[in-house]
């Protein structure tokens, strides 16, 4: 069943307060808890992943409303291949399923689709559906919706290192030139601001090989809520929590400098 992309008739839709100050530009999400959600209901794990799509729709919608610029969703990791084939196949069918229903809504809401991770090793149907969406939304300048697909941070860093070493070897990069900013250009997230806020649902408090370089100064927000139950309200709650954080990037706040001792 298609959930309306923008449905102001949803209960509470008019009462929701969307933070409009100090909103994170880039929110990254580890969508955890699908399997447990399904198990709790005596359903197969894959039912949880399918239900997870409804949450993706709600959260993309909320991100558009909150004027988040980039939303990165950890959809399939390089380690997820270890799961039973039937589960892997289901997860990798979801992008096509999602895009075949919602791409027109995403286009009309000015969303630009992007992907990070090694797309080459994904099934053709996943790759083609995502590439089609990337091509169709290339000129949109609203929310950038990034799917992390066959993504693993260590693999990404190693891949970057190999290309970097080749560039040093052939003279396109020198050790003197190489700094953090230059190195970032070799990562899949080249051109994207680092995430300001990381949300992980499902109660675990770990990074699971997600954006290890990019999360160096990101604010973390963990919730026990399982991904299929995560709501627009929870998302806004995370943004409100972010608003209260003082980001110092290893320095100290300006007012502390005035009375420094
Ligand atoms: C982790 O939960 C979740 C995944 C490995 C898959 C995430 C995929 C989706 C939510 C579907 C997204 C679809 C689109 C189109 C972006 P888990 O299975 O590890 O949960 P558990 O910890 O309860 O077992």
In this predicted structure, what is the pLDDT of residue 8? 47
Contact between residue 196 and residue 25 where contact means Cβ atoms under 8 Å apart: yes
Domains of the chain: 26-152+191-244 (3.40.1180.10)
Q: For ligand 1, is residue 34 a contact (CB within 6 Å)?
A: yes
- Residue to mutate (ligand 1; options 3, 35, 51; most atoms within 8 A of CB): 35
What does pLDDT average to in each consecutive run of 10 residues of the chain (261 residues)?
60 61 95 98 97 97 96 98 97 97 96 97 97 98 98 98 98 96 98 97 98 98 98 97 86 73 71
Query: Using CA positions, which residue lies closest to atom 24 of ligand 1?
Result: 35
Per-residue pLDDT, 6: 63
Nearest CA to ligand 1 atom 18: 35
Instruction: Give catalytic residues, as residue numbers.
Output: 32, 80
CA distances from 106 to 122, 143, 172, 250 (A): 23, 9, 38, 38
Q: What is the model's pLDDT at position 45?
A: 97
pLDDT at 250: 78
The pLDDT value recorded for residue 32 is 98
């Amino acid at each position: 069943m298609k959930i309306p992309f923008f449905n102001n008739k949803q209960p509470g839709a008019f009462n929701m307060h969307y933070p409009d100050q100090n909103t994170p530009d880039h929110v990254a999400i580890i969508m955890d808890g699908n399997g447990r959600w399904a198990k709790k209901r005596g359903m197969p794990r894959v039912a949880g992943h399918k239900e997870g799509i409804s949450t993706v729709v709600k959260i993309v919608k909320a991100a558009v409303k909150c004027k988040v610029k980039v939303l990165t969703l950890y959809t399939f990791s390089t380690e997820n291949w270890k799961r039973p084939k039937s589960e892997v196949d289901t997860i990798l069918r979801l992008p096509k399923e999602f895009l075949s229903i919602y791409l027109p809504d995403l286009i009309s809401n000015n969303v630009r689709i992007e992907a990070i991770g090694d797309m080459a090793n994904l099934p053709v149907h996943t790759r083609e559906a995502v590439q089609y969406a990337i091509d169709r939304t290339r000129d949109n300048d609203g929310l950038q919706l990034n799917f992390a697909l066959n993504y693993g941070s260590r693999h990404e860093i190693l891949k970057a290192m190999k290309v970097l070493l080749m560039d040093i070897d052939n003279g396109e990069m020198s050790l003197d030139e190489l700094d953090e900013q230059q190195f970032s250009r070799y990562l899949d997230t080249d051109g994207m601001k680092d995430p300001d806020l990381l949300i992980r649902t499902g109660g675990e408090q770990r990074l699971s090989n997600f954006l290890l370089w990019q999360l160096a100064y990101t604010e973390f927000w963990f919730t026990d809520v399982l991904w299929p139950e995560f709501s627009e309200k929870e998302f806004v709650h995370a943004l409100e929590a972010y608003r209260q954080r003082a980001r110092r990037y290893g320095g100290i706040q300006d007012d502390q400098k005035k009375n420094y001792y």
